[in-house]
Amino acid sequence: MSLPFPPQIERVLYTEEQIDERITQVAAEITARYRDRNLKLIGVLKGSVFFLTALARRLEIPVKIDYLAISSFSASKTVPGVVRIAKDLDEPIEGEDVLVVEDIVDTGLTLRYLLQTLAGRGPNSLGICTLLDRTSRRLVHVPVEFRCFEIGDHFVVGCGLDYKQLYRNLRYLAVMKLESKG
Ligand code: IMP
The whole-number pLDDT of residue 182 equals 42
Cα–Cα dist 55/29, whole Å: 11
DSSP 65-98: EEEEEEEEE-SSTTSPPEEEEEE--SS--TT-EE
pLDDT tens, residue by residue, 122-149: 999 999 999 999 999 999 999 999 999 9
Please count the other Cβ atoms lying within 10 Å of the Cβ belonging to residue 11.
10
Taking a C-beta distance cutoff of 8 angstroms, is the pair 108, 132 a contact? no
DSSP 90-122: SS--TT-EEEEEEEEESSSHHHHHHHHHHHTT-
Q: Which of 20, 88, 103, 106 is catalytic?
A: 106
Reduced to 3 states, what is the DSSP secondary structure of residue 43?
Answer: strand
Atom of ligand 1 nearest to the CA of 107: 3
- Residues framing ligand 1 (Cβ under 6 A): 47, 102-110, 155-157, 161-162
Residue nearest to atom 16 of ligand 1 (CA): 106
Cα–Cα dist 94/152, whole Å: 36
The whole-number pLDDT of residue 181 equals 46
What is residue 180's DSSP assignment? -
- Using most ligand atoms within 8 A of CB, pick from 73, 103, 112 the residue to mutate for ligand 1: 103
Helix (H) or strand (E) holding 174: strand 173-176
Please count the other Cβ atoms lying within 10 Å of the Cβ belonging to residue 117.
15
- Below-70 pLDDT ranges, the chain: 1-4, 74-81, 179-182
- To the query of whether residue 106 is one of the catalytic residues in this protein, the response is yes
Cis peptide bond N-terminal to 46, omega within 30 = yes
Q: Where are the domains of the chain?
A: 17-74+83-153
CATH number of the structural domain 17-74+83-153: 3.40.50.2020
